[in-house]
Structure 1
Amino acid sequence: MLPSLALLRPSRLGLVALPLLLSGCQNMTTPAVVDPAAQGYETPEYHALKGLAIIKASSIYARGASGQGVSVALIDSGLNADLPEFQGRIGDPGYDYVTNQPGTTDRVGHGTQMAGIIAANKDDQGMHGVAFSAQLIPMRFGDDDQPFFFDSEIAQSWTYAFGKGARIFNNSWANDIPATEITESRYKQVMPESLTVARQLVNEGAVFVFPTGNELRREPLAEPGLPVAVPELEKGWLAVVALKQDGTAINAKSNYCGVARDWCIAIPGGDSSAGTGLQTTLKSGKYGETAGTSPAAAMVSGALAALQSRYPQMSPQQIRQHLLKHTNRTGIYANSEVYGQGLLDLEAASRQPPQHVIGQGTD
């Protein structure tokens, strides 16, 4: 049996991300195009979520894209959807598989924090998300207090959100076992429904985002590395490694990309000491810090949504491939074992794509 799922959850401090239960490519990027209009988006609210500057998010905003018309599924501990930061950001109330009713609550707060990173409003309050015009579809699964395996709830959450229009799925959780120890038959023993649904939805165009995990290992956890065992998932899969707040190196706990290097990307997730995390929304309505690979995954989901709104004629899986192709692979980011395909770069990715991309299945 696999160990319990770990929702890579922050606790209060300046909220430290801990794995609680329910809890050599040398390609060089082209020089950045300086857009004076981008500076108009670099407000105090923008700078409050420090990772936005590292991934050059203001460039895509200046090009007219911030996630409008794109839905992101939040597969997590639910969402406090009544907060002002999420007014107008809820594409569907979602479903609570803990209480078996429409809509969600969030006793833990993890889902609300991830939602803030993805799509908190640009309203001159606190901070705003990467894709501040995107729509969220929040799903709640699992038992907040006990170890769990909730294969059926996860599979149902994915199916529900896909049916409501989500093609980007943020999954800030993973089974706590190295991807190198997973085989297809072993995974089927404990996650049979989820594997079936993942195959189906990837075949229908979905993109799944997972954190590599916070165990300071050289390999990612089971789900981010799953295409090693099930190769057909790769076209719809992204693994995410967490950098320090300033993007200068991997953070203090993040697992490496390892065997997931071909579909793995690096982005700030912050560290767990006070003042070094990423600011986000708390379930109380206040703001606080979160850190780890969970918020890093949420940042990538937000970046996908923003880029999708920039290029609506491209499929979500084309957007995924385009994002992986247009990264910063210079300096430390050339180490693919650690950083996979490199540092996410929305300035580079939001320039006009090659014309052959449009209407075709590859980039």
Structure 2
Amino acid sequence: MLQRTTLLLLPALLLGCATAGAPPARELDTSPFETTEYRAQKALAVVKASTLYARGGTGQNVKVALIDSGINDTLPEFQGRIADPGHDFVLKRPGTLDIKGHGTQMAGILAANKDEKGMHGMAFNAQLIPMRFGDDKEPFYFDSEIAQAWQLSYDKGARIISNSWANPIEANTNEPIIYERLMGDSLEAAKKLVADGAVFVFSTGNEVKREPLAEPGLPALFPELEQGWIAVMALKSDGTAINQKSNYCGLAARWCIALPGGDSGDGLLTTQQDGSYGPTIGTSPAAALVSGALAALQSRYPQMTAQQLRERLLSTANRSGIYANSEAYGQGLMDLEAASRPDH
């Protein structure tokens, strides 16, 4: 009997010795990343981006497609941030310019340099591939160009495709045949690219509605898209409530996440087309932040696919308090401390 008892206790004794001798866990130091630039971009602190940076996730060597109104790539904030000049589907030539300024604003939110000036992007070491289409006209009229832009950016190495726009019809008011007629080329391109591993990020829209617009809600009608889809709704700059413009996640709740997008008089600081810094407000910057977060996570976990990182981002979101309301906030507030934690 004594012999048996000794054998039972032995593993416990050995475990106790190993635990006692283990070095204490080292506390993560995020302070080097919480700079003036970091604090100037208010959304970064709300989603705990400095923790991701301290764990090595800055977007290094990760390409992101920016499907928008182009980019002013001559600005210092984008020096070293352009992986490829991209393509201008308005002027039908390689490279882009940005007359409207929206694309440059989103590029700043996503990947502006960490250079002790103004602010920096979510993934300040990421690489952008800009694609210009239609400027601020209805995306329906540029279906073929959008499809080509998605495919071309994928061919150039982007697996994260950032779309801070959507067609202005509610996702719950249409049947598949309508989408197939209005966006047949881009819908087929999206299906193909999702099957090939891409992740599409879309803003829910700024119409103060309980449902998202067309593209962010597409997986409700085409379930094969869900594994590569994220819809993004916008909170106030401090993340405490929905902003005054954002549509809810609605039927996209399962693949939707909440991010600061600024509010009236309190926008998110970003790059302007003329090289200055100024505010941007709405679901557009919220979506660009998510694209940047995916890029930063990709550099933290290079062995994971973009779609695995998408799942990680959604599953680690903060669903406490107000964020438990999935109709409004989907999977909750993006939490980059949780998403970058080794035990997830």
**Identity value in percent:** 66
- How far residue 183 of structure 1 moved from its aligned partner, in angstroms, is 2.1
Which of 317, 325, 338 lines up with 2:328 in the alignment?
338
- How far residue 353 of structure 1 moved from its aligned partner, in angstroms, is 4.7
Contact 2:138-2:167 at 8 Å conserved across structures: no
What's the TM-score once normalised by structure 2's chain length? Answer: 0.91
Which of 241, 245, 253 lines up with 2:237 in the alignment?
245
Q: Which has the higher contact order (CA 8 A, sep 6+)?
A: 1
Contact 1:205-1:317 at 8 Å conserved across structures: yes
Q: How does 1:1-363 map to 2 (within 5 A)?
A: 35-144=27-136, 149-271=141-263, 273-274=264-265, 276-354=266-344
Runs (5+) with no aligned partner, structure 2:
1-24
- Cα RMSD for the two superposed structures: 1.4
Show CA shifts across 1:61-111 (max 9, x none).
Answer: 111110001111000000001100000000000000000111000000000
Contact 1:182-1:226 at 8 Å conserved across structures: no
- How far residue 182 of structure 1 moved from its aligned partner, in angstroms, is 2.4
Structure having the larger proportion of residues in helix: 2
In 2, Cα distance between equivalents of 1:129 and 1:143: 22
- Aligned with 1:104: secondary structure? coil
Which structure: larger Rg?
A: 2
Paired residues in the alignment total: 320
* Cα gap change, 1:294 to 1:323, in 2 (>3 Å): same
Runs of 4+ in 1 over 4 A off after TM superposition: 33-36, 143-148
In 1, Cα distance between equivalents of 2:176 and 2:139: 23
- Aligned with 1:344: secondary structure? coil
Aligned match of 1:11: none
In 2, Cα distance between equivalents of 1:256 and 1:220: 6
* Cα gap change, 1:34 to 1:181, in 2 (>3 Å): farther
In 2, Cα distance between equivalents of 1:103 and 1:181: 37
* Cα gap change, 1:145 to 1:195, in 2 (>3 Å): closer
In 2, Cα distance between equivalents of 1:146 and 1:165: 27
In 1, Cα distance between equivalents of 2:139 and 2:229: 26
In 2, Cα distance between equivalents of 1:35 and 1:226: 42
In 2, Cα distance between equivalents of 1:171 and 1:34: 39
Contact 1:107-1:144 at 8 Å conserved across structures: no
- Aligned with 2:107: secondary structure? helix
Show CA shifts across 1:280-303 (max 9, x none).
Answer: 000100000000000000000000
- How far residue 146 of structure 1 moved from its aligned partner, in angstroms, is 7.7
Contact 1:322-1:349 at 8 Å conserved across structures: yes
Q: Aligned partner of 1:248: which letter?
A: T
In 2, Cα distance between equivalents of 1:99 and 1:196: 24
In 2, Cα distance between equivalents of 1:313 and 1:285: 36
- Aligned with 2:231: secondary structure? strand
